[in-house]
Structure 1
Amino acid sequence: MNRIELFRHWWRETFRRDNVQNRVDNLVQEGRSTLSRAVSAGVRAFLVMFMVATPSVLLPGMGPDGKQMVALISLFAGALTFIEYSATYPGLVEFRDAPPFNRIRFSILFMTVFMLTIIEKSQFDPNALAVLVRAVGELIGRAMDFPYSPVRLATLMMAATSSEEQISAVRTAAGMAYLISLIGLAVFVVLLKIYEWPTRWGAFNVWVNMPTFDPTSGGDVVRRLERDARVNVVLGFVLPFVFPAVVRLGSSGFEPLTLTSPQTLIWVMTLWAFLPASLFMRGIAMGKIAEMIREKRRISGAMGLAAA
């Protein structure tokens, strides 16, 4: 008899109207959240694929094999982006739920690829926009081409037999790419101040936004974050100077036709300028997170003393 009463009680509690309504509401909310996350991931994946394919779409002269390779790489990058942003649990991408970090980083990468593509396109289709962008790039490249500057070191990657026209193409691309990275970095710092990152969008989840950082492994979290921040900033500052030297020592200079071919020049100069900016941004972000944790500890300590 007790079992029957227990079953009746369970049945009434389980299928009461308010309980059923709550379950339906929860399912609807989960469905909306999943759909929203999938749509957002799809948009990001499309933008990544579009960025990878931009040089091959806008520039002529690529053969069928090259186009197939670009399509394969863009599909792989898009699939990786979609899987990463549609998943509930974190994977490899840092700060995925802490805008505007990845948005600015992608904007820097996309604008660099796009502007360098427009510069290279001016050789084949000298329309007004392409000529204007190329003229601006040449002006910036000359302004940044002084002894021991990153742009001057970038031109040293060329072989000794390179013509002045080939060196000028590298100088123009390097100047434009470096300027875009500096502007993006400045915008990132300003937005951090304006939006009080990372606390503006609620609690900062270290596990979701920094999946490769283990806060439980050795030492104080704040000290480790500050140390990693300093390392990233130093690497971001040094890399534009070290990269050309490593390339020069490793290969004794690229062949002129290899480095000055449009596709290779675009991606080499993009990576040369983007990687240091990305390291700078990561270092600044880690410093802000360390500052946030220290401030929360100070507030918790003050509240504990006040309660005592």
Structure 2
Amino acid sequence: MALPDTTNDTTQIVALVALFGATLTLFEYAAVYPGLIEFRDAPPFNRIRFVSLYATVVLLTMVVLSETHPTTLTRFIEAIGSTVASSIDVPYSPVRLLQLTLPSNASAAQLELVRTAAGMAYLISLFSLGYFVIVLRVIGWPHAQTQFNVWVNLPTFDPTAGGDVVDHLRRDAWFNLALGFLLPFLIPAVLKLVASSFMLVTMQSAHTLIWMVTAWAFLPASLFMRGIALGRIAHMIEEKRRLQETGGYVAA
């Protein structure tokens, strides 16, 4: 909605989608039983992800605005993104692969814009991961003094499948970590395959650029956070089992 070329129809659609998302979130968090949102009762996991997604969309919008409506703030944000992108733009890097999704006739300015947006999004995702790890260490997430309800916080997790629940959680954790590592490389390849086989997917539109780069950076970071969280929960369950076994032995 902040972009200058946004039509009235697009504004109305965005407002409708935002209203639907707000209503879904309100009902999910107000419900007693689990729904679709994971870690609903284990803050600040979802708060960190929401702030990361919000910051990515806003800052990428400012990067795009710096091309048409330059200000001191937008130029500063663009400079940060360009600096980060330059440091990680090496052959076969995710940033380089994302640039390859552009058509062959893309201008140098468009390539630079995609590279800058990728650098800014990558920086936000790294900050989010770093902050989440700090939260794990500092406040001991999830809190040891509170009850962690697996049914409410992991509504799609089946503790009866896959053998022991600790092993199941650790397998899921490693799967999420591996997928989060591979996604920055896989997403550009999938976009290139779809563009060449089925339909034209281009980031020459400002809206498409912002949302595609946001998804490219946010989804891997979100999977990394989920994998770390699942590993933490598995460790917590294992520690509680050990304490119970030790306590039972001493009491006997």
For this structure pair, what is the TM-score category when the shorter chain's length is used for normalisation?
Answer: over 0.9
Aligned position for 1:7 = none
CA distance in 1, matches of 2:46, 2:87: 30
User: CA 1:59–1:200 in 2, change beyond 3 Å: closer, same or farther?
Assistant: farther
Aligned position for 2:24 = 80
Unaligned 5+ runs, structure 2: none
Q: Which runs of 4+ in 1 moved over 2 A?
A: 252-256
Aligned residues: 251
- Structure 1 residue 116 corresponds to structure 2 residue 116: no
Q: Could you tell me which of 130, 134, 157 is aligned with 1:190? A: 134
Note the C-alpha offset of 1:306.
Answer: 1.3
- Contact conserved, 2:52 with 2:218, CA < 8 A, in 1? yes
Secondary structure of 2:63's counterpart equals helix
State how 1:280-291 maps to structure 2 within 5 Å.
280-291=224-235
Note the C-alpha offset of 1:66.
Answer: 1.3
Note the C-alpha offset of 1:201.
Answer: 5.4
- Contact conserved, 1:118 with 1:133, CA < 8 A, in 2? yes
CA distance in 1, matches of 2:29, 2:74: 35
Q: Could you tell me which of 159, 167, 178 is aligned with 1:215? A: 159
Q: Could you tell me which of 48, 66, 70 is aligned with 1:126? A: 70
CA distance in 2, matches of 1:241, 1:155: 12
Note the C-alpha offset of 1:220.
Answer: 0.4
Q: Could you tell me which of 272, 277, 285 is aligned with 2:221? A: 277
Q: Could you tell me the percent identity over the aligned residues? A: 55
Once the two structures are superposed, residues 113-156 of structure 1 have per-residue CA deviations (whole angstroms, 9 ceiling, x without a partner) of: 11001111112321110111112111211221111111111111
Note the C-alpha offset of 1:200.
Answer: 4.1
CA distance in 2, matches of 1:208, 1:301: 26
Paired residue type of 2:216 = W
- Structure 1 residue 139 corresponds to structure 2 residue 83: yes
Note the C-alpha offset of 1:163.
Answer: 1.2
- Structure 1 residue 299 corresponds to structure 2 residue 237: no
Paired residue type of 2:3 = L
Note the C-alpha offset of 1:252.
Answer: 2.5
- Structure 1 residue 230 corresponds to structure 2 residue 174: yes
Aligned position for 2:6 = 62
CA distance in 2, matches of 1:277, 1:74: 22
- Structure 1 residue 206 corresponds to structure 2 residue 206: no
- Contact conserved, 1:109 with 1:274, CA < 8 A, in 2? yes
Unaligned 5+ runs, structure 1: 1-55
Larger proportion of helix: 1
Secondary structure of 1:122's counterpart equals helix
- Contact conserved, 1:94 with 1:210, CA < 8 A, in 2? yes
Once the two structures are superposed, residues 135-180 of structure 1 have per-residue CA deviations (whole angstroms, 9 ceiling, x without a partner) of: 2111211221111111111111111111111111110101110111
Once the two structures are superposed, residues 79-100 of structure 1 have per-residue CA deviations (whole angstroms, 9 ceiling, x without a partner) of: 1111111112120101111111
Structure possessing the higher relative contact order (Cα contacts under 8 Å, 6 or more residues apart) = 2
TM-score by length of 1: 0.78
CA distance in 1, matches of 2:103, 2:161: 47
CA distance in 1, matches of 2:101, 2:68: 25
CA distance in 2, matches of 1:138, 1:252: 28
User: CA 1:218–1:238 in 2, change beyond 3 Å: closer, same or farther?
Assistant: closer
Give the alignment's Cα RMSD to 1 decimal. 1.5
Note the C-alpha offset of 1:218.
Answer: 4.1
Bigger Rg, which one: 1
CA distance in 1, matches of 2:196, 2:82: 26
- Contact conserved, 2:173 with 2:227, CA < 8 A, in 1? yes
Once the two structures are superposed, residues 245-298 of structure 1 have per-residue CA deviations (whole angstroms, 9 ceiling, x without a partner) of: 111122139869x41221111100000000000000000000000000001111
CA distance in 2, matches of 1:268, 1:145: 18
TM-score by length of 2: 0.95
- Contact conserved, 2:194 with 2:200, CA < 8 A, in 1? no
CA distance in 2, matches of 1:232, 1:218: 16
Note the C-alpha offset of 1:216.
Answer: 2.5
